[in-house]
Amino acid sequence: MVAASIVKNASSESGGITAISGISSNILIVDDRKENLIATEKVLKNLDSTIFKAGSGNEALSLMLRHRFAVILLDVQMPEMDGFETAALMQDHESMRGVPIIFVTAISKEEKYATQAAAIGAVDYIFKPINPEILRSKVKVYIDLYRQHEQILQLNKTLSQSNEELERFAYICSHDMQEPVRMMNSYADILNEEYRQFLDARAQKYLEFIKGNASHLQKMIFDILTFSRVGREEPRTEHIDCNQMVREVLEEFKPVIERKQAHIACDPLPGLEGCPTLMHVLFQNLIGNALKFQDGSRQPTISIQVEFANGEWTFSVQDNGIGIDPAFNDRVFAIFQRIHRKEDYPGTGIGLSTCKKFVEFYGGKIWFQSAPGKGSIFFFTILDHTRVAS
Amino acid sequence: MNILLVEDNEGDIELTQHAFKRGGLVSQLAIAHDGVEAIDYLSRRGAFSDAVEPDLILLDLNMPRMGGRQFLEIVKQDEKLKCIPVIVLTSSDAPKDIRECYERQANCYILKPFDLQKFMVMVKQVEDFWINVVQLPHQAVATR
């Protein structure tokens, strides 16, 4: 019987629901006097919202069980259940709690009523006769807030969806793509080793192409995986001996260092609380780049330094390599951006973007200074709360 | 030493056979192309009525019909089969895969090396370890 007496506005009357942001919103007006309902409805007509009207507290609660509202206009004086009682019941209900309530009253104008209203969740307390312009603008604020909130919820949903897709993609990379690449590489090896006497020079060259590209593809898959894993795993920190970390990275590059006769100078580095994978990725990429981007005209010299200020370590890796043309400044940290030909300086174009994503995930920054033909310095920061405390 | 290789990729099957042939310590390398076939083999069902119970199982993870995880769940809950060591041999280095295999009582998890040389070395090490170093429950398995 309650539901039967409810009058719902046709959406055509409320004027294009989806007009502004495509997010619909509902307004609930509660008043025991029909002429008040009609008057208020008229005031709120052009707010791109659907207006629901209830003639009693019970009707209001019944509507709230079935719809979501951006804002409620609630008359204080009503028979059976007054506005305060209605609001108190709404506060008890999980799905109704938090909907902004604007009380409208003709007689209870004393301060104490307004205070009582605030205590049961009212966001405003206004007096009749209502000023249409003021009411409209107040209601509009709550409708805008509601729409923004809904938009954020929708965005979050989209985000978690694309995160799931990314996770699936990372998994496909790690398994399905690695397997065929490994097959290509292995069988190129077998042909090369066991069937070499049947292959002429050109066939051997083609095999090298297959093998070289399989290796490159494998490196790309590995790098994409590292990139996509950043941020998906829980932040994890432990004690790191940076000297040890750099020694390990230099050991990985030993053949290149020896071949290019590179000179490496490293400050005594600190022990710190950090993510070991992060530190390894940073040193590996920055030292690797410093060694790679050399044109052979001089002995590669690399210097690793560190400073502590304002609760963070700033590390720098400086080289005397080819430097970076300022024209490419904003592409340096972008994924899949290669500034040089692969033949001259091989790489996947993922390394520095992984560094940036990773370092920012842990609250740090990464940037560089460079002079073409003279060299580059890459800086990155690592937060260290333990040192401030001790 | 009898080994059952559960693997769907013909390239990998050939490669593993090739590597074990070099080692010369494995008398039989049986092939099952997915988990369903492997269970049939171990239960001596259908075409596998004269199958020899393997001393060791090499298991790939992602396969059609029944993958490695589900195969592990069945084998490790089977009173007769659970003693046979299962070595997971896969291209996946995903932490989730590694954890899920050990949770299902895999005996070890090996990443298939990218380089042929390293692959051969890995097979040699598997052969050496499981044939020369460890003691397997041959008796217990054989007398049932």
What CATH number does the domain containing B88 carry? Answer: 3.40.50.2300
| Contact (Cβ atoms closer than 8 angstroms) between residue A75 and residue A36 | yes
Question: What is the per-residue pLDDT across B14-28, written as a single tens digit (0 to 9) for each?
Answer: 999 999 988 888 888
Q: Please give the distance of CA A333 from its chain centroid, rounded to a whole number.
A: 17
Among candidate residues A83, A109, A130, the one where a domain is terminated = A130
Q: Does B67 map to a domain?
A: yes
| A250 and A196 within one domain | no
The band of B138, judged by pLDDT with boundaries at 50, 70 and 90, is low
Among candidate residues A130, A149, A176, the one where a domain is terminated = A130
Does A179 contact B61 at a Cβ distance shorter than 8 Å? no
Chain B CB contacts of A218 under 8 Å are 114
Q: Does A53 map to a domain?
A: yes
Token pair 């209870």 is at which residue?
A108
- Predicted confidence at residue A199, as pLDDT, reads 93
Residue B127 to residue B108: CA distance in whole angstroms: 14
- Predicted confidence at residue A238, as pLDDT, reads 87
Q: Torsion angle, CA of A246/A251/A252/A256, rounded to 10 degrees?
A: 110
Does A185 contact B90 at a Cβ distance shorter than 8 Å? no
Does B92 contact A174 at a Cβ distance shorter than 8 Å? yes
Q: Does B76 map to a domain?
A: yes
Domain range for B108: 2-126
Residue B122 to residue A373: CA distance in whole angstroms: 45
Check if B93 contacts A (Cβ < 8 Å).
yes
Q: Is B73 exposed, middle or buried (0-12, 13-18, 19+ CB in 10 A)?
A: middle
Q: Does A7 score more than 60 pLDDT? A: no
Q: Does B140 map to a domain?
A: no
Q: Does A145 map to a domain?
A: no
Q: How far is A369 from chain B (nearest CA, A)?
A: 36
Q: Does A116 map to a domain?
A: yes
| A296 and A216 within one domain | no
Check if A218 contacts B (Cβ < 8 Å).
yes
Strands ordered across the beta sheet of A301-309:
A263-266, A301-309, A312-319, A375-383, A366-371
Q: Does A210 map to a domain?
A: yes
Q: Does A146 map to a domain?
A: no
| A247 and A355 within one domain | yes
The band of A387, judged by pLDDT with boundaries at 50, 70 and 90, is low
The band of A327, judged by pLDDT with boundaries at 50, 70 and 90, is confident
Phi/psi for A307 (5° steps) reads -140, 155
Q: Does B48 map to a domain?
A: yes
Average pLDDT over residues B21-41: 91
| A52 and A126 within one domain | yes
Phi/psi for A319 (5° steps) reads -130, 170
Does A174 contact B119 at a Cβ distance shorter than 8 Å? no
Q: Does B141 score more than 90 pLDDT? A: no
Average pLDDT over residues A69-81: 90
Residue A382 to residue A18: CA distance in whole angstroms: 46
| A163 and A125 within one domain | no
| A180 and A107 within one domain | no
- Predicted confidence at residue A23, as pLDDT, reads 82
Check if A187 contacts B (Cβ < 8 Å).
yes
- Predicted confidence at residue A347, as pLDDT, reads 82
Q: Does B50 score more than 70 pLDDT? A: yes
B118 → chain A, closest CA residue: A186
Question: What is the per-residue pLDDT across A360-379, written as a single tens digit (0 to 9) for each?
Answer: 988 999 999 999 999 999 99
A171 → chain B, closest CA residue: B94
Question: What is the per-residue pLDDT across A195-235, written as a single tens digit (0 to 9) for each?
Answer: 999 999 999 999 999 998 898 888 888 888 888 777 777 77
- Predicted confidence at residue A5, as pLDDT, reads 38
Residue A45 to residue A12: CA distance in whole angstroms: 10
Q: Does B35 map to a domain?
A: yes
| A242 and A220 within one domain | no
Q: Does B133 map to a domain?
A: no
- Predicted confidence at residue B30, as pLDDT, reads 95
User: A370: closest CA among A306, A316, A310, A298?
Assistant: A316
Q: Which of A38-42, A131-135, B86-90 has the highest mean pLDDT?
A: B86-90
Does A182 contact B90 at a Cβ distance shorter than 8 Å? no
Q: Does B131 map to a domain?
A: no
User: For A203-325, where are the E strands, in sequence order?
Assistant: 238-241, 263-266, 271-274, 301-309, 312-319
Average pLDDT over residues A280-298: 93
| A266 and A216 within one domain | no
Q: Does A165 map to a domain?
A: yes
Chain B CB contacts of A186 under 8 Å are 11, 15, 115-116, 119
| A197 and A101 within one domain | no
Q: Does A388 score more than 80 pLDDT? A: no
- Predicted confidence at residue A122, as pLDDT, reads 87
pTM of structure:
0.61
Segment among A148-162, A180-194, A229-243, A365-379 with least mean pLDDT: A229-243
Average pLDDT over residues A180-208: 92
Q: Does A264 score more than 70 pLDDT? A: yes
* Residue count (chain B): 144
Tokens (6 digits) for B130: 């499981």
Q: Does B143 map to a domain?
A: no
Does A175 contact B12 at a Cβ distance shorter than 8 Å? no
Domain range for A12: 3-130
Give how many domains chain A has, as a whole number. Answer: 3
User: How large a percentage of chain A has pLDDT more than 70?
Assistant: 93
Does B12 contact A183 at a Cβ distance shorter than 8 Å? yes
Does A174 contact B93 at a Cβ distance shorter than 8 Å? yes
Give how many domains chain B has, as a whole number. Answer: 1
Beta strands A122-127 and A301-309: pairing type?
A: unpaired
Average pLDDT over chain A, rounded to an integer: 86
| A208 and A341 within one domain | no
Q: Please give the distance of CA B143 from its chain centroid, rounded to a whole number.
A: 22
Check if B122 contacts A (Cβ < 8 Å).
no
Phi/psi for A302 (5° steps) reads -125, 135
- Predicted confidence at residue A21, as pLDDT, reads 52
- Predicted confidence at residue A341, as pLDDT, reads 77
User: How large a percentage of chain A has pLDDT more than 90?
Assistant: 49
Given the cut 0.85, state whether the ipTM is greater than it.
no
Q: Please give the distance of CA B12 from its chain centroid, rounded to a whole number.
A: 13
Average pLDDT over residues A154-179: 82
Burial A136-166 (b: 16+ CB within 10 A, else e): eebbbebbeebbeebeeeeeeeeeeeeeeee
| A195 and A104 within one domain | no
